[in-house]
Amino acid sequence: MADADDVRRLALALPRVVEIASDGFDFRVENKGFVWSYPERLPGKPRMIRTDVAVLYVGDEAEKQALLRGEPDLFFTTAGYDGLPLVMVRLAEVSAERLAELIVDAWRMRAPVELRESLQDG
């Protein structure tokens, strides 16, 4: 079981990550988002930032669909994310180890080549 503190700890441990001021969490590398709090939008209600759900950059539609189909209890999406390489992960359902893997993968897809190489060397 993971939480927003785990997301923050894991994301900030990666090279050149910055946290953007928000009501939840929002992490970027070289100004590219890779993990942030889910901004839930329900009809007729104001947007609510959910820190129990993380939005992860996954690179492409094939990876998104593989995660959604392979682990539907862990990952989900909404119509607002159709066509975007993003999935939501229920933090209460994911282990800290798996979350670390997901966050590093998201970071690698958004970081410049030289940063990705520096993480491999370290």
| pLDDT over 70, % of the chain | 97
Inside any domain, residue 41: yes
Region 96-109: mean pLDDT is: 96
Which pLDDT value is given to residue 83? 93
| Structural domain of 53 | 4-114
Inside any domain, residue 120: no
Specify the pTM: 0.92
Tens of pLDDT, residues 9-34: 999 999 999 999 999 999 999 999 99
Inside any domain, residue 37: yes
Which pLDDT value is given to residue 117? 75
Name the β-bridge partners of 55. Answer: 36, 88
CATH code for the domain in which residue 21 is found: 3.90.1150.30
Q: CA 28, CA 70: separation in Å to the nearest integer?
A: 27
Number of domains in the chain: 1
Task: Quote the mean pLDDT of the chain.
Answer: 94
Which pLDDT value is given to residue 42? 86
Inside any domain, residue 25: yes
Tens of pLDDT, residues 55-83: 999 999 999 999 999 999 999 999 989 99
Which of left, alpha, beta for 83 (phi over 0: left; psi -120 to 50: alpha)?
left
Q: Which residues, at least 6 apart from 15, have a Cβ–Cβ distance to it below 8 Å?
A: 29, 111, 115, 118, 119
Q: Is the pLDDT of residue 120 over 70?
A: no
Which pLDDT value is given to residue 33? 97
